[in-house]
Amino acid sequence: MRLNIVIGGAAGQGINKVSTIVSNILVKYGYFTFNYRDYQSLIRGGHSFNTLSISDSQIHSHYASIDIIVALNKRALETHKPALKKGGMIIIAKEFKKEGRNLNIALAGALLKILGIPLENLNEEIKLEFKDFDKALISAKKGYDSESEKFVLKKLDNKITILSGSNAMAIGAKNANLDIYIGYPMTPSTNALHAMAKDQIKNKMLVFQAENEISVISMALGASFAGAKSMVGTSGGGYDLMSESLSLQGITEIPLVVYLASRVGPGTGVPTYTAQSDLDIALRAGHGEFPRVVIAPGTPTENIEIVADALFLSEKFKMLSIILSDKHLAESEFSTTLTPKKATKITVKRSVPGTSIVKASSYESDKFGNSTESYILTEANVDKRMQKYNRAKEYINSNLEMVKIHGKKNSKNLIVGWGSTSGVIIDAIRDLDAKFLQVIYMKPLSSLIRKELEKADNVILIECNATGQLGRLIREKTGIKIENRLLKYNGRPFHEDELKIYLGEML
């Protein structure tokens, strides 16, 4: 069972409110939801929409074709009508104009009636959310009575939670006992900053907004040097500003985790849309040669686990850990029954100021931490950093899940992908003769990748960028070029139905 509902209108009309109420109810009712948020870089007006996808089994994606449209204005109706399936339904907000502030509740009511979910579920939700709910209950009933049942969703017995990548960052940080998070607002990393800031006191954490990203990362290095487990968050442009300090991390070996949530570049690009085009800079930004790990979660649950792993690795190997995400993962609302693995305990054992004399320098340094230009020490320090990377690689190889295999394990058709594109691939190949290799560790890269590529007859690379950055990385490390590529770079993630059609042609 799968339904896709588009809720569209102008920014400020409360699209998110409708989808939030309905998904909360659906999840309690035992259904899996996936909510894609499409919005422009403006505060009021324009056109935004959410696609709320519903299923009785685990999903991580949405469709292009629509079963129900909830139109908050004319533009929404005109924009989405061409994608409405034959026999699809339309709910028009204008009909509930009289409900005023409770318009969204009336719309939720109408939607739930179409889905065949009893009104009492909405009433319960309203009582939970609002103090003054009498009027809201009346609006809910009005909306509910305006439609007739089209689908009958039976109550299912699933324990499901809704999670976005941004919330996952905050949960992961809490689980790993992060001390300090520093950021500067930039979509799509901002929601993680907000989520971390909200419960900072309760979570015994400090969340600081600095004057720019250069300051953000400089402060984080200072804080980490003083013994605090520290993380920064940003998007492409802000990350560019941080590059020089990534390099400072390399030479000072002060542990640091960077959360990089990509959006469409170059430049300011299409700021509220998604892309997987920053893998190159995640891997390489910063002058000089120094070790790092780059980890790309595909779902919020993986994201929670990866926060702890990234912090652990950065502390253990005094290294830079980059968590690579994007707008689609950070801001879409996933739902799941999975619980993340327990976070590894991270203890800071290094010497810190206050109790000993510790020196960290942006210059190559001697054993006292003071500058040196000696060729012997320079070479020795480089070797030390490279050996450290090898140790980290060995540790990751034997302890962490660097890739995941989904789909038909024995299929000769292999799809290769990563990050936020993973979810839609998993969903799209469910009924196909295909196996999906999800790359989670971008650096170091798993040796399993070569083995899988060699076993397959037909390999397809799927990414949301124009140059196939993972494909290039794999070619660099294995010498194998993946010829078949499915690349999308218009700021929108793949839809499941769209991907199925492409794969049908390619397999």
Partner 1 sequence: MVKKIIKKSPKTKQIKKAAPPKPNKNIIKLKLDLGTKSENTWCPGCPNFMILEAVKRTLATYIDSKKYKKEDFAITADIGCHGKIFDYLNLSGIYGLHGRAIPTAIGMKLGNPNLKVITFVGDGAIYSEGISHLIHAFKENPDMSLFVHDNQVFSLTTGQSTPTSQTGYVTKSEPLGEFDKPLNPIKIALASNATFIARVNARDTPHMVEIMTKAINHRGFSFVEIMQDCIIFNMDQNFKDKRMYKIPDNKDIKIAEKLASEFNYNSKEEKIPMGVLYHNDQPCLEDRWPQLVDLQKRKVGWINK
Note the residues at the interface with partner 1 (CB under 8 A).
179-180, 182, 200-201, 204-206, 208, 210-212, 214-216, 218-230, 244-245, 248, 252, 254, 348, 352-363, 366, 368, 370-371
Structure tokens at 78: 């005109």
Task: Kindly state the smallest distance separating residue 149's Cβ from partner 1, in Å.
Answer: 52
Largest CA distance in the chain: 82
Report, in angstroms and rounded to the nearest whole number, the Rg of the chain calculated over CA atoms: 24
Distance in angstroms between the alpha carbons of the first and the last residue of the chain: 25
Give the nearest distance from C-beta 201 to partner 1 in angstroms.
7
Q: Is residue 445 within 8 Å of residue 406, measured between CB atoms?
A: no
> Is the CB of 118 or the CB of 353 nearer to partner 1?
353
DSSP string, 209-264: E-SSHHHHHHHHHHHHHTT--EEEEE-HHHHHHHHHHHHHHHHH---EEEEEEE-B
Q: Least Å distance between CB 372 and partner 1? A: 9
**DSSP for 437-484, written as a single string:** EEE-EEETTPTHHHHHHHH-SEEEEEESSSS-HHHHHHHHHHS----E
Q: Which is nearer to partner 1, 228 or 294 (CB)?
A: 228
The least CB distance from residue 258 to partner 1, in Å, is 14
Q: Considering beta carbons, is residue 339 or 362 the nearer one to partner 1?
A: 362
Q: How far is the CB of 78 from partner 1 (least distance, A)?
A: 46
Closest CB to partner 1 among residues 179, 331: 179
d(CA 13, CA 73): 9
Q: Whose structure tokens read 């049942």?
A: 149
**47 versus 229: smaller Cβ distance to partner 1:** 229
Q: Yes or no: say if 494 and 488 are a contact pair by the CB < 8 Å rule.
A: yes
Q: Give the three-state DSSP class for 177.
A: coil
* CB of 206 vs partner 1, minimal distance in Å: 5
- Least CB distance from residue 208 to partner 1, whole Å? 6
